[in-house]
């Protein structure tokens, strides 16, 4: 499909061989295949079809095939969890909290240095959250990160 040669994608080629050899029978991908032609020459079009033809069940996280993510989210966070609230931004906060802290601090540097320009208490609250993110390590304590902690806590709140 398109102009892709498997020699040009060695990581995929290894995965494809593993599927063909029966090492993997389920594969999760994250590809935006919602609009044909989104990438030049349909560069990602070969991924799912080759893996499925090799014998794997392929789930695309981008489109949440089979509602796998939605089911896991509701199981972990309760029925009020909404899968559309988990965005690239919440993923960055979840998986890279220290980086998110640095980005927030850099983007709000002027506001945080001039707390009088902000509503009362906002600067202290924002600084505490930035500091908390900086110290978070999602993989610590053998935890598997799944959803950004604030979003997870919000999902678990009882509906009023």
What are 13's two structure tokens?
């080629």
Q: For residue 80, what pLDDT band results from cuts at 50, 70 and 90?
A: confident
Q: Between 144 and 62, name the one with better pLDDT.
A: 62
Report the mean per-residue pLDDT for the chain.
78
What is the model's pLDDT at position 56? 95
What is the model's pLDDT at position 55? 96
- The per-residue pLDDT for range 102-111, each reduced to its tens digit, is 888 888 887 7
Q: For residue 121, what pLDDT band results from cuts at 50, 70 and 90?
A: low
What is the model's pLDDT at position 127? 77
* Domain spans in the chain, listed from the N-terminal domain onward: 6-63, 78-156
Residue 53 predicted with pLDDT over 90: yes
- The per-residue pLDDT for range 5-41, each reduced to its tens digit, is 778 889 999 999 999 999 999 998 888 766 655 555 4
What is the model's pLDDT at position 26? 92
What is the model's pLDDT at position 141? 44
Q: Is pTM, for the whole model, over 0.85?
A: no
């Amino acid at each position: 499909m398109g102009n892709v040669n498997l020699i040009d994608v060695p990581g995929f080629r290894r995965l494809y061989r593993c599927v063909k050899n029966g090492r993997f029978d389920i594969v999760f991908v994250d590809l935006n295949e919602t609009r044909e032609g989104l990438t030049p020459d349909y560069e990602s079009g070969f991924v799912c079809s080759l893996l499925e033809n090799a014998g794997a069940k392929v789930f695309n996280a981008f489109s949440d095939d089979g509602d796998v993510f939605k089911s896991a989210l509701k199981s972990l966070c309760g029925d009020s969890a909404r899968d559309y609230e988990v965005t690239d931004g919440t993923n960055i906060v979840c998986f890279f909290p220290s980086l998110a802290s640095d980005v927030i601090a850099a983007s709000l540097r002027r506001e945080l240095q001039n707390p009088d320009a902000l509503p009362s208490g906002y600067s202290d609250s924002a600084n505490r959250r930035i500091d908390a993110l900086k110290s978070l390590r999602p993989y610590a304590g053998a935890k598997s990160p799944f959803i950004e902690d604030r979003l997870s806590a919000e999902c678990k709140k009882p509906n009023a």
